[in-house]
Amino acid sequence: MECKKCGSKYVSNKWFKLCLECNNERVHGSKYGKQVDYKEKDIKSLKSSNKESSKKRVIDKGQKIIVSGGNKKSKSFQNILSDEIFYFKCFQNSDHKCEECSTKLPEEFRTVDGDLIYRARYSHIIPKSIAPELRHEVDNINHLCIECHQKWDFGGKKEMRIYAKNQLMFPNYLKPLKSED
């Protein structure tokens, strides 16, 4: 699927068939998204007061996680940690090739700084939003390059080689391919 305005192969809005920049233009009038005037906004300091010291603050900057304050872990923080543990288990079972096109995938799990390398390689066959109970099932993961992951998530999955295998594993979620007689 391509952006119908600029032809980019990375479509973020399937309904209008637009890439991120073209969709931002459609919604906000600028390819950079909504313009914010910071002078009118009341910007609070990141430093917490004594009253807020029991609260947990999680800031996700790409793949680095910064945690401050509090004793209880937030649900999103727990999901990030359990996802990384699960992705490591999937990484160990991988042959480091895209299951669709056999493109070589990185053979390292983390950078020297401890950041997760190439999170996009773990493609959920059945999306987490449709079946949250399958979120951490190894059978629900395809190891895909970014192009194949994009194709699987945003249309064209029925034309992919891995669709038939995935449909056999999850017949209740994926429709069978029609055979032409």
* Distant-in-sequence, close-in-space partners of 147: CB < 8 Å, separation ≥ 6: 9, 101
Q: What is the Cα–Cα distance from 89 to 38, expressed in whole angstroms?
A: 43
For residue 18, with 0-12 CB atoms within 10 Å meaning exposed, 13-18 middle and 19 or more buried, which class applies? Answer: buried
Q: What is the Cα–Cα distance from 142 to 157, expressed in whole angstroms?
A: 12
pLDDT at residue 181, rounded to an integer: 43
Cα-flanking dihedrals φ and ψ of residue 110, to 5°?
-130, 160
Residue positions counted in the chain = 181
Residue 39 vs residues 36, 42, 46: alpha-carbon distances, Å = 9, 8, 17
One pLDDT digit (tens) per residue for the chain, 181 residues: 889 989 988 888 888 888 888 888 888 877 776 665 545 445 455 554 444 444 444 444 444 444 444 444 566 777 788 888 888 898 888 899 999 999 999 888 888 888 888 888 899 999 888 888 999 999 999 999 999 999 998 888 889 999 999 999 988 888 887 764 4
Q: Is this structure's pTM higher than 0.75?
A: no
